Amino acid sequence: MALWICCRYAVMIPRNLDLFNLMLPAIDVRQARKRYGQLQALDGVDLRIEQGEFFGLLGPNGAGKTTLINLLAGLALPDDGQLSVLGHDVVKQYRASRRLLGVVPQELVFDPFFTVRETLRMQSGFFGLRHNDTWIDEVMHHLDLTDKADTNMRRLSGGMKRRVLVAQALVHKPPVIVLDEPTAGVDVELRQSLWRFIQQLNRDGHTILLTTHYLEEAEALCTRIAMLKHGRIVALDSTLNLLRSLAGCRVRLKIAGYLPATLLPQVVEQAEGDYLLTLPSYQALESMLAELRVAGTTVQEMTLQQPDLEEVFLRLVGRTVQ
């Protein structure tokens, strides 16, 4: 009987552990708070990012995006709350959590004494990886850095330095990758190749957490998005739902006749019979057309414009859409 139990557990435990690991969120943040002097940088943030997600973290400058990333990476210590990476607490189990996390910092930082290859070898050493050249070569190949392998970091352009930062974050093959404004100041070609590589990593099962100011990037890449404002999450949903629920829609109308007074508050542009209106939702379209019919106004042309994340973003951060 004892033997049977032992055998049973020997078989069961690894399976249960695998299942358990799969169910763990890639990133779990509970009531994270951080204050710098008078500034409450994070004010009780709750966030759960599942494994394999491409997640966007948006917000205006000073919203708390980088603070949240710093807490996850151990670059700052939380005042309160719990943060974990694949179930490992970032403070109590920092060794495990940092091994699972690859961070691309926002600033273009580098050690001026080393070449690209030496930089990547050094970074591997920080993670206890002594013979990592095969993977380093692969990462450099994907990031078009092979030609620059023996070039000193000081001689690289800004875009190339950015690629090295990405490579540094990947030397230890982390399952969770955090990119803090990775395409800031980067040319279009590099941006495209960088995103192709990051998307490939995501398809291979890596979880991606991205902060960016390029909203079209977040819209195109991220499956879910959280928006931060004054250290709080003000929106958290799939990209599609956010676009549907908050942006409403824009309608460009060319009409014969007059626009009823009830619709005037929704006009954002106007030029000789041409109107651009913002509606709170697609449902409002029906009532707008009804009002035009009642007024006896004929619609000559009507174009619906797709909402974009910028409108959602601006609405959430409290600015007016121009």
Partner 1 sequence: MWKVGFQTVLAPVLTALLYLLIFSYVLAQHVEVYPGVHYTAFLIPGLMMMAMLQNAFANSSSSLIQSKITGNIVFVLLAPIAYWEFFAAYVLASMLRGLVVGIGVYLAALWFAQPPLLFPIWIILFAVLGSAMLGSLGVVAGMWAEKFDQLAGFQNFIIMPLTFLSGVFYSIHSLPPFWQALSRFNPFFYMIDGFRYGFFGVSDISPWVSLMVAGGCMLGLTLLSLGLLKSGYKLRY
Q: Which is nearer to partner 1, 156 or 227 (CB)?
A: 156
Please, what is the minimum distance in Å from the beta carbon of residue 162 to partner 1?
14
Please, what is the minimum distance in Å from the beta carbon of residue 73 to partner 1?
6
Please, what is the minimum distance in Å from the beta carbon of residue 198 to partner 1?
18
Task: Looking at 74-214, list the stretches that DSSP marks H as alpha helix, in order from N- to C-terminal side.
Answer: 94-99, 116-126, 133-142, 158-170, 188-203
Please, what is the minimum distance in Å from the beta carbon of residue 124 to partner 1?
10
Please, what is the minimum distance in Å from the beta carbon of residue 49 to partner 1?
19
* Rg (the chain; Cα; Å): 25
CA atoms within 13 Å, Cβ hemisphere of 129 = 18
| Residues sharing a CB contact under 8 Å with residue 36, sequence separation 6 or more, in sequence order | none
Q: Which is nearer to partner 1, 143 or 221 (CB)?
A: 143
CB 255 within 8 A of CB 224: no
Please, what is the minimum distance in Å from the beta carbon of residue 76 to partner 1?
5
Q: Which is nearer to partner 1, 167 or 198 (CB)?
A: 167
Q: Which is nearer to partner 1, 95 or 293 (CB)?
A: 95
CA 281, chain centre distance (Å): 26
Rounded CA-CA distance 73/101 in Å is 7
Which residues bind to partner 1, rule: CB under 8 A? Answer: 36, 70, 73-77, 94-96, 98-99, 101, 103, 105, 107, 109-113, 122-123, 126-128, 168
CA atoms within 13 Å, Cβ hemisphere of 2 = 0
Q: Which is nearer to partner 1, 69 or 249 (CB)?
A: 69
Q: Which is nearer to partner 1, 151 or 223 (CB)?
A: 151
Please, what is the minimum distance in Å from the beta carbon of residue 183 to partner 1?
19
Q: Which is nearer to partner 1, 125 or 280 (CB)?
A: 125
**3-class secondary structure, 126:** helix
The DSSP result for 39-107, as a single string, is EEEEEEEEEEE-TT-EEEEE--TTSSHHHHHHHHHTSS--SEEEEEETTEETTTTHHHHHHTEEEE-SS
